[in-house]
Amino acid sequence: MLRREAAYFFAAIRFFTRLPVPARVGHSAAMLDAAARYFPAVGLLVGALAALVYLAALPLWPPAVAALLSMAATIYLTGAFHEDGLADTADGLGGGWDKTRILEIMQDSRLGSFGAVALWLGLTGKFVLLCAIAPPLAPLAMLAAHAVSRYAATLLLASMNYVRDDSNSKAKPLATRLSAGGLAVATAFAVLGLLPLPWPEALMGCLLAALATLWLAAKFRRWLGGYTGDCLGATQQVAEIAFYLGVLAAWPV
């Protein structure tokens, strides 16, 4: 059983990051369905690497440079997977007038005005927030935010329907509803990411991330009747930013 779960974990790493995994790890739709429970665990890994880059850069450069380098590291590790989802979702919801048109726009590889603005706001906002968080707290916030934001996306897998019927979508392998057991595993890894963070900051971060997720979920239900892979990426990005906002709001000035 442990070997099987390890295979699911490595499958999640391969799907959501550029990190190498053992060659013995197979590739199938069923495996990727099971791997969804480890989405927050991948967030822990990405957040830990971001925190390490930040801590390594801090003795050499100002906190703003350390924050920028940590962001660059996460974008490289994930191949801008979630940022692409944010841009496509913004283009679709901003430029479409019904479900069919929204899905067509989201599938278009070209970047539109709404997507460009959302991408700029997302990256700039994340950078400003990380610069504003006190350096002793920033690495802990990164670790928690990456885990919790991916848990937010996982909640869509557990509670909403996948709306595309094509086989080329980035989330097609994850279209099966997450089971209660899978959700429990995802929850455990999200909580694990919160433990090093002081509880007021963790609580406020989770609260704002939850509000952002509920807001996006309501939009997805209204306009699409469910989620797509781009919606998952957008949820992760917005929830991460919202978590940093919560941490900053709770930190004593």
Cα-only R_g, the chain: 17
Residue 175: predicted pLDDT: 54
- Residue carrying structure tokens 């970047």: 111
User: So what's the pLDDT on residue 171?
Assistant: 52
Containing structural domain, residue 232: 2-79+130-250
Instruction: Let me know if residue 124 belongs to a domain.
Output: no
The tens digit of pLDDT for each residue in 121-150 reads 999 999 999 999 999 999 999 999 999 999
Residue 162 bridge partners (DSSP): 227
User: Can you give the pLDDT at residue 28?
Assistant: 62
- The residue among 62, 81, 183, 198 whose CA lies nearest residue 130 is 62
Question: Number of structural domains, the chain?
Answer: 1
Q: Is 162 helix (H, G, I), strand (E, B) or coil?
A: strand
SS3 252: coil
Maximum Cα–Cα distance for the chain, whole Å? 51
In a domain, 87, yes or no: no
Give domain status of residue 104, yes or no.
Answer: no
Q: What is the pLDDT of residue 30?
A: 66
pTM for this predicted structure: 0.94
* Residues in the chain where the model's pLDDT stays below 50: none
**Domain membership flag for residue 144:** yes
- The pLDDT of residue 6 is 84
